[in-house]
Amino acid sequence: DSGVTQTPKHLITATGQRVTLRCSPRSGDLSVYWYQQSLDQGLQFLIQYYNGEERAKGNILERFSAQQFPDLHSELNLSSLELGDSALYFCASSVPGGYGYTFGSGTRLTVV
Amino acid sequence: SQELEQSPQSLIVQEGKNLTINCTSSKTLYGLYWYKQKYGEGLIFLMMLQKGGEEKSHEKITAKLDEKKQQSSLHITASQPSHAGIYLCGADEPYTGRRALTFGSGTRLQVQP
């Protein structure tokens, strides 16, 4: 157990639907990062939050959004889902000013 | 932004053989991370290198960062089936304010008994 908790582990949904992925960072970590891993694109950075505020954006689609709550857990919202959104979605967390990134076990999203 | 190229893309070795995976950056590396991923599972942190010429070892895995800080290698000695998986190198760019990792495309390692 890495200390970063992601739920659910698996999600199957239909095209056009909306889903929410949840991440609880490791205790003491203020930053949360979301990544998407697909077969053709590899592991891509989506977005980072630090202590509730958006800090950096990567290759995140407009249909996707995220937030980090006061208790530091984060949610990634994916809407108007398409078949191509099927992927593993990872959350990672890090300590302030530190150089370690701890990854969760991921959520496997399948859009049918 | 930074780009990382990993080679080889895939590797099949006999158990007991040594192997090396390379990661080359388009820019100077300030922090280079190696992770291992079992197929469809999460990433497991292996090592992090920062200084030119730095070398770290854990069990049978050794990672090095070259003096120019643009290339890293991961060497596995006497490979075992438990070493099988995808090895990913990742780099951050703290001096640009972007702390998220950029990853290479990964190296798939199979170890045949």
> Stretch A13-37: mean pLDDT, rounded?
95
Residues of chain A numbered 50-69 and touching chain B (CB < 8 Å): 55-56, 58
Q: Using only C-alpha atoms, what is the Rg of chain A?
A: 13
Residues of B in contact with A106 (CB under 8 A): 41-42
Residues of A in contact with B99 (CB under 8 A): 31, 48, 55-56, 94
Give the residue ranges of chain B where pLDDT is below 50: none
Q: Mind listing the pLDDT tens digit for each residue in A80-94? A: 999 999 999 999 998
Catalogue the E-assigned strands of B8-106: 10-14, 19-25, 32-37, 43-49, 55-58, 61-65, 71-76, 85-93, 98-103
Side-chain half-sphere CA neighbours of A111 within 13 A: 18
Across the interface, do A101 and B101 touch by the CB < 8 Å criterion? yes
Q: What is the pLDDT of residue B67?
A: 85
Please, what's the b/e burial string for B47-76 (b: 16 or more CB within 10 A of its CB; e: otherwise)? Answer: bbbeeeebeeeeeebbbbbeeebbbbbbbb
Q: Is residue A98 predicted with pLDDT exceeding 80? A: no
Q: Mind listing the pLDDT tens digit for each residue in B39-56? A: 888 899 999 998 889 999
**Which one-letter amino acid corresponds to residue A66?**
A
CA-wise closest residue to A48 among B78, B93, B52, B23: B93
Q: Is residue A71 predicted with pLDDT exceeding 80? A: yes
Residues of chain B numbered 67-106 and touching chain A (CB < 8 Å): 88, 90, 92, 97-106
Q: Rounded to whole angstroms, how far apart are CA atoms A93 and A67?
A: 14
Q: What is the pLDDT of residue A95?
A: 77
Strand-pair category, A107-111 with A10-13: parallel
Across the interface, do A56 and B42 touch by the CB < 8 Å criterion? no
- pLDDT > 70 fraction of chain A, expressed in percent and rounded: 96
Task: Say yes or no: B48 contacts chain A, CB-CB below 8 A.
Answer: yes
